Structure 1
Amino acid sequence: MDNLTLEQCYQILNLTEQPTLEELDHHYYKLIGEKLKSGNKDEINNLKLAYSQLREYCQNKQDNQVEKETKKYQHSLTNSLNQDLKNIGMRVKVQSFPNHLEVIIKNVKISKKLLTTKLIYDSLNHILKDTEQDVIISSIGTKNNLIWQEKIKICTGIYAHNAGKYNTEILLKEAEIKTNTYGLPIAFLIAFAINFIEPLAWFISMWVHEFGHATVAWFSGYRAMVTFAGTIISFDRSLFVYFGILILIGLTFYSGWKEQKKTTMIVCIILAIMQFILTWKTSYSTYRMLLYFGGIGGEFYLSTLLIIAFYWRLPEKFYWEFWRIFALVIGATTFWGNFTKWHRISKGKADIPWGTFWGGRGDSGGDLNVLNNEVGWSANQIINTYNTLGFICFLVIIGTYLYFLWKSNPVFRLQISRYFS
């Protein structure tokens, strides 16, 4: 202090211990009032000097304490976040300001913005208690350039009811994660229930069965019309069918290219190659085998495609966000019924479904009858083939489910990393 020591300030102001700024102000103005009432104006200047110097001292000390507490708080938040994120190779630095927190991360691309934001949002929701706090997340490049920035609001404890007002993208991502997590299990529970109602389960799987025949015919260049429990197929190849299907594939590829949906583009390329091989490189005898195999085979692979397509993002013209729920339930119902049926057949608990719906078990035109009598497949070969196909499709479904669960859910990845660390 320039003129007075700390002890002198305390003595002049009649203080025995360090007050808070509020207490000091209150005490000072009380003393000034008393001096003015007593007419003792000579001591007022000393009071003013002592007050100003002591107040400056207390203010500095309080500021230092606040700065110390802020650094401690920042350090604690940084450690807690990094502890949560260490297993996925992400490190952050937290800075605290009067009205918000800033979380700084290094070199996170904008393509990972939403997942990164979701992960930090979830971590802070566990760390911060009873708060409604603005948080700015900033990704900084190697040259300290800003890559992207996102503002979120953490609402926990008594403020948790306000969370729905903010963070729209985060909440949509949360909804997507829940859909990816629970959609498939719920669909199989529905499928399990539907398969107890045999006529309904048969009606659903029958259409998939017939489309199994039709897709083989269409991709082989033959006209085919799906009807109730039957598919009418022409005997001659048609260029109209070939180029019609090819144009549809091309239009879908173009829509996928415009909307940058890589999965759609890849699938279109695969379908075009498959169509070319089936139409121009496959013998008629092989086509007939695939045609009759494709009924029950379609119940496996088409239902699997319907299930895993639930996780794809198809072009907007497909309105897939709406239809994918129905596709998932239809696929799960057909797959579950077929998978369990052929498992029972392999165990001798059910009979091979010879014949046709219209002609009965003795109809030699049935899919399996043709495979057995004309193609030369034995009963065991038929059973083993469909069971193997079912097992492969089952692995594809589980693999797809786990992949998208891993890809879309950073919290799941974090929990798995923690479990194996």
Structure 2
Amino acid sequence: MSPPSASCPRCGALRVEGPECPACGVIYLRAEARAAARQAGERQLAERNAVLHQAEDQRLALREALEAHAAPTFVPPLVEAMPERVSPDLTFDDSDAAEETFEAKLRVCVLPTALFIAWLAVRSPGFHALSRIFLTMPVHELGHAVSAWFCGFSATPSLWVTSVSDERSPFMVVLVAGLLGTLVHQGWKRRRWAWMAVGTVLLAVQAVGTLALDPEQARMMFTFGGDAGKMVLGAALMTTFYVPPDHYLRKHALRWGFVVIGAAAFMDGFELWWAARTDVDRIPFGLIEGVGLSDASRLVETYGWNVSRVIHRYVMVGVSCLVALGALYLGALWRVRDALRGGGAGAA
């Protein structure tokens, strides 16, 4: 126990012998006990306030860090007290920057290389026959089927022929419109404006194909949609190479297969009709065993198109696809320009 003070705990007068202060009449022991209790309470209050102030400072620091998208500036006391470990012999490779640079280089060379190899393949009779059997004919038949679906007809594509219903199918009209409407809705919901734009354009195409074309005109369109669809779908498959890093097609390397199939399908159709401008004999007129008239023969003999019109329209489809691919290619290069310069900026 601490010795008694030399003055009265209450009034501060000089302390005298005896239990009471002659100046204020307080009992010394009781006054000292109350003073000790008061001092202890003040110390506890000060400690509690210090803890609260520290917690408030940390909360404010965390809030400012979150608002600035930065790491918190405070360090917990236990972490701060730990000795810093230094490993001077360890070096770390900036793998993210290297991966971004590699992806940027791929975006420069993959699309032109795929188109060039596809052009070489269609110029080689052996490779052309193989690619047509295994790669391009399914896309050709899918072009017929997609054209029929957008005109309101049911269609089932196979390897060499596409079966199309004789009449429009209300179920197919509702199904296609529902899928495209879902695409537009999801684009709006997730703020994916490209989804909304594509869905809206395709809904307009379906409206024209279903409402503006009579059945005979619709059959003419999905006859034309074989090679035309092959070029359009081929170009669409090639665009999948530029999907974002977290996309399923990129994570599982499916974009590589799609760009190969797309380049082969597009070049198979475009090279033929581009060459047909000066060599009409390249056009596949005639009968196909088990199928009937070829698409070109049906367009000329059944629907009254002249040869120049057939060539011109197929070439226009192919050139339009090339223009769209070129715009996408240049846009992709623009987004990775910093990585190509060695700055390490991210490839989108």
Both proteins in one fold, TM over 0.5 = yes
How is 1:186-205 mapped onto 2 (pairs within 5 angstroms)? Answer: 186-195=113-122, 196=124, 197-203=127-133, 204-205=135-136
User: Whole-Å Cα distance in 2 between the matches of residues 411 and 348 of structure 1?
Assistant: 45
1:268 to 180, 193, 199: 199
- 2:103 paired with 1:176: yes
Tell me the CA shift for residue 255 of structure 1.
Answer: 4.6
Asked if the contact 1:297–1:386 (Cα under 8 Å) also holds between the matched residues in 2, the reply is: yes
Root-mean-square deviation (CA), in Å? Answer: 3.3
The aligned counterpart of 2:323 is 395
Structure 1 gaps, min length 5: 1-144, 151-158, 416-421
- 2:273 paired with 1:346: no
Asked if the contact 1:229–1:357 (Cα under 8 Å) also holds between the matched residues in 2, the reply is: no
- 2:282 paired with 1:367: no
- Percent identity between matched residues is 27
Tell me the CA shift for residue 198 of structure 1.
Answer: 2.0
Asked if the contact 1:225–1:233 (Cα under 8 Å) also holds between the matched residues in 2, the reply is: yes
1:281 to 212, 223, 235: 212
Q: How many residues matched?
A: 257
The aligned counterpart of 1:291 is 222
User: Quick one: structure 1 residues 269 and 234, their matched pair in 2 at CA, closer, same or farther if it must change by over 3 Å?
Assistant: same
Tell me the CA shift for residue 191 of structure 1.
Answer: 1.9
The aligned counterpart of 1:337 is 268
Tell me the CA shift for residue 148 of structure 1.
Answer: 5.2
Length-normalised TM-score, structure 2? 0.64
User: Whole-Å Cα distance in 2 between the matches of residues 244 and 315 of structure 1?
Assistant: 29
The aligned counterpart of 1:229 is 160
* Secondary structure in structure 1 of the residue aligned to 2:101: helix
1:404 to 313, 318, 332: 332
* Secondary structure in structure 1 of the residue aligned to 2:163: strand
Q: Deviations over 1:256-310 (max 9, x none)?
A: 4555433223212222222222112322232122111101111222212222243
Letter in 2 for 1:278: G
User: Quick one: structure 1 residues 248 and 296, their matched pair in 2 at CA, closer, same or farther if it must change by over 3 Å?
Assistant: same
User: Whole-Å Cα distance in 2 between the matches of residues 345 and 148 of structure 1?
Assistant: 59
User: Whole-Å Cα distance in 2 between the matches of residues 298 and 211 of structure 1?
Assistant: 7
The aligned counterpart of 1:211 is 142
Q: Deviations over 1:52-79 (max 9, x none)?
A: xxxxxxxxxxxxxxxxxxxxxxxxxxxx
Tell me the CA shift for residue 344 of structure 1.
Answer: 2.1
Tell me the CA shift for residue 401 of structure 1.
Answer: 0.8
* Secondary structure in structure 2 of the residue aligned to 1:229: coil
Structure 2 gaps, min length 5: 1-65, 72-87, 344-348
User: Whole-Å Cα distance in 2 between the matches of residues 323 and 283 of structure 1?
Assistant: 39
User: Whole-Å Cα distance in 2 between the matches of residues 389 and 297 of structure 1?
Assistant: 6
Structure with more contact order per residue of length (Cα contacts < 8 Å, sep ≥ 6): 2
Letter in 2 for 1:184: L
Q: Deviations over 1:16-51 (max 9, x none)?
A: xxxxxxxxxxxxxxxxxxxxxxxxxxxxxxxxxxxx
Letter in 1 for 2:101: E
Tell me the CA shift for residue 199 of structure 1.
Answer: 1.8
Length-normalised TM-score, structure 1? 0.54
Tell me the CA shift for residue 379 of structure 1.
Answer: 1.2
The structure that has the greater radius of gyration is 2
Asked if the contact 2:272–2:282 (Cα under 8 Å) also holds between the matched residues in 1, the reply is: no
User: Whole-Å Cα distance in 1 between the matches of residues 249 and 255 of structure 2?
Assistant: 10
Higher strand share: 1
Q: Deviations over 1:391-414 (max 9, x none)?
A: 222222222211211123235589
Asked if the contact 2:243–2:249 (Cα under 8 Å) also holds between the matched residues in 1, the reply is: no
User: Quick one: structure 1 residues 148 and 183, their matched pair in 2 at CA, closer, same or farther if it must change by over 3 Å?
Assistant: farther
How is 1:11-410 mapped onto 2 (pairs within 5 angstroms)? Answer: 162=91, 164=93, 166=94, 168=96, 170-195=97-122, 196=124, 197-203=127-133, 204-257=135-188, 259-313=190-244, 322-348=253-279, 350-358=281-289, 363=292, 365-410=293-338
Tell me the CA shift for residue 240 of structure 1.
Answer: 1.4
Tell me the CA shift for residue 323 of structure 1.
Answer: 2.5
Asked if the contact 2:101–2:339 (Cα under 8 Å) also holds between the matched residues in 1, the reply is: no
* Secondary structure in structure 2 of the residue aligned to 1:211: helix
User: Quick one: structure 1 residues 350 and 366, their matched pair in 2 at CA, closer, same or farther if it must change by over 3 Å?
Assistant: closer
User: Whole-Å Cα distance in 1 between the matches of residues 232 and 243 of structure 2?
Assistant: 16
Letter in 2 for 1:325: W
The aligned counterpart of 1:93 is none
* Secondary structure in structure 1 of the residue aligned to 2:320: helix
User: Quick one: structure 1 residues 350 and 409, their matched pair in 2 at CA, closer, same or farther if it must change by over 3 Å?
Assistant: farther
Asked if the contact 1:300–1:338 (Cα under 8 Å) also holds between the matched residues in 2, the reply is: yes
User: Whole-Å Cα distance in 2 between the matches of residues 256 and 188 of structure 1?
Assistant: 31
